[in-house]
Structure formats: C-alpha cells, structure tokens
C-alpha cells in the first residue's frame, strides 16, 4: 500500500495524478471517491470554481472518467461515490453554467448541490452503460458496478466546517447532534465498503443503486428534483 497526494482544488494536478495512475495501473477493482468538503463557507478553487463543487464532484468526475477504462476491463469492479441524504434538499439547481455554480447559495446548499451532482452522475453513467456508450459493455452484468452511498452522520472534521460557517448557531447545532454521530471506522465507512466489496451488489444487481446503512434503493433520473 502506498499513498499518492491529490489536490482536488487544482484540476491540473488532479489530471496529472489521474493520468499517471492510468498509465501505471493494469486494473482497478474499486474506486471509492470519498474526499470532500462539508457544510462550509463559499470559496473559489484555484481554477475559479466553487470549491465545494470542484472538490466534491468536478475533480472526482474527471478522476473517475480518466480511470474508467481500467474499471471497465476489470471484472466485478466498482465505482462508488460518497453522496449524502443532503442531496434531497436541492430542488431548483440546473447545473447550467459556471456562473450558476459560483453563486453562493449558503453553506448547507453548497454541500447539498454537490451531493445531488454525484447521484446524477451515477444515474447518467448507468444510462450511458445501458446504451453501450463511453466504452461500456451494455451487458447488465459487465463492469463496473456504479453506486452512490450515504454514510450517515459521521464524526469527522466536517462539523468544524459547519461551526466556522454558521458561528454560534453552528456550534450549538453540532453540539446537539455530536452524540448521535457514528464512528467513521466502526460504522461510517460501512455503506461504501458494502458497495465496493459485497457480493450482494452483483447478486441483487444493484447497478445504479443508492446505498445507506442497511438499505439500498434504485434511483431513476426522473425521480430526482433539480
């Protein structure tokens, strides 16, 4: 095992890492896109894009698309995106332009919008797969399996971002929910690990599923509000 640093707020560096991996790896059994910004203040990335959207979705989209051919040729491979129930908060975003993405819509909505983008990305890939586009085999059992997951409330450093964004109210809110937050190792990682490793994904044909702890649902594009 070895670590590779990737700066998701810098698309040029993200591209370099992605292409370096693509040139060196012969297969990818699982790609879990887990890094992300939480509920926090609006800021622009090095590329002049809302940092939430770039870190949580755009950079991960680019990374996964560069590595997609390796996933496609690896039997039973998985692409797993760490989404959130926050994706249900968004009802009027269009993803129509950079100007729209660079509009400060508040800490919670900035985060929620990226989580909706991840779910939409998975549903879009499943649709392309069914049509045999983007190098996919349209066979329903072919690789990769594409899933989005919800980890639940997890005790990470993200609540600190909410405190910084909302001040005193943020600290009160975090203090209220902190006792209910899951340990990231014991529970928080389970949905992603299930999606990435469980044989039930293939047995139950969970292509395009949205997985939460103990449950999964198939999400259709027309069911999403955006």
Tell me the pLDDT tens digit for each residue of 137-187: 999 889 999 999 987 655 555 565 656 565 666 556 555 655 555 565 566
Bigger pLDDT: 69 vs 179:
69
| pLDDT more than 70, % of the chain | 77
Cα–Cα distance between 144 and 129 in angstroms, integer?
9
pLDDT (0 to 100) of residue 141: 86
Buried b vs exposed e over 109-141: b needs ≥16 C-beta within 10 Å?
Answer: bbbbbbbbbbbbbbbebbeebeeeeeebeeeee
Cα–Cα distance between 36 and 22 in angstroms, integer?
22
Residue 178 a catalytic site member:
no
Q: With 50 as the cut, is the pLDDT of residue 5 above it?
A: yes
Per annotation, catalytic residue among 46, 73, 94, 111: 111
pLDDT (0 to 100) of residue 168: 64
Kindly list the structural domains of the chain, giving each domain's residue range(s) and its CATH number in brackets, ordered by start: 11-223 (3.40.50.720)
Query: Minimal CA–CA distance to 201: which of 220, 84, 191, 33?
Result: 191
Residue 166 a catalytic site member:
no
Per annotation, catalytic residue among 115, 121, 129, 166: 115
Q: What are phi and psi of 54, to 5 degrees?
A: -70, -50
């Amino acid at each position: 095992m070895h670590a590779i640093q990737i700066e998701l707020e810098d698309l040029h560096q993200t591209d370099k890492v992605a292409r370096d991996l693509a040139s060196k790896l012969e297969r990818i059994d699982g790609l879990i896109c887990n890094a992300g910004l939480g509920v926090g203040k609006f800021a622009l990335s090095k590329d002049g894009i809302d940092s939430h959207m770039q870190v949580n979705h755009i950079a991960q989209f680019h990374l996964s698309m560069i590595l997609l051919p390796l996933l496609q040729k690896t039997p039973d491979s998985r692409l797993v995106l760490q989404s959130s129930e926050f994706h249900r908060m968004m009802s009027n975003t269009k993803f129509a332009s950079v100007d729209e993405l660079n509009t400060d819509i508040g800490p919670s909505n900035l985060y929620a919008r990226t989580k909706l983008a991840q779910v939409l990305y998975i549903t879009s890939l499943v649709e392309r797969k069914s049509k045999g586009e983007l190098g996919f085999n349209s066979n329903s059992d072919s690789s990769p399996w594409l899933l989005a997951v919800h980890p639940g409330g997890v005790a990470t450093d993200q609540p600190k971002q909410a405190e910084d964004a909302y001040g005193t109210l943020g600290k009160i809110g975090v203090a209220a929910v902190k006792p209910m937050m899951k340990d990231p190792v014991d529970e928080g990682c389970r949905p992603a690990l299930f999606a990435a490793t469980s044989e039930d994904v293939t047995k139950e044909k969970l292509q395009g599923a949205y997985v939460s702890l103990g449950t999964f649902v198939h999400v259709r594009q027309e069911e999403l509000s955006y």
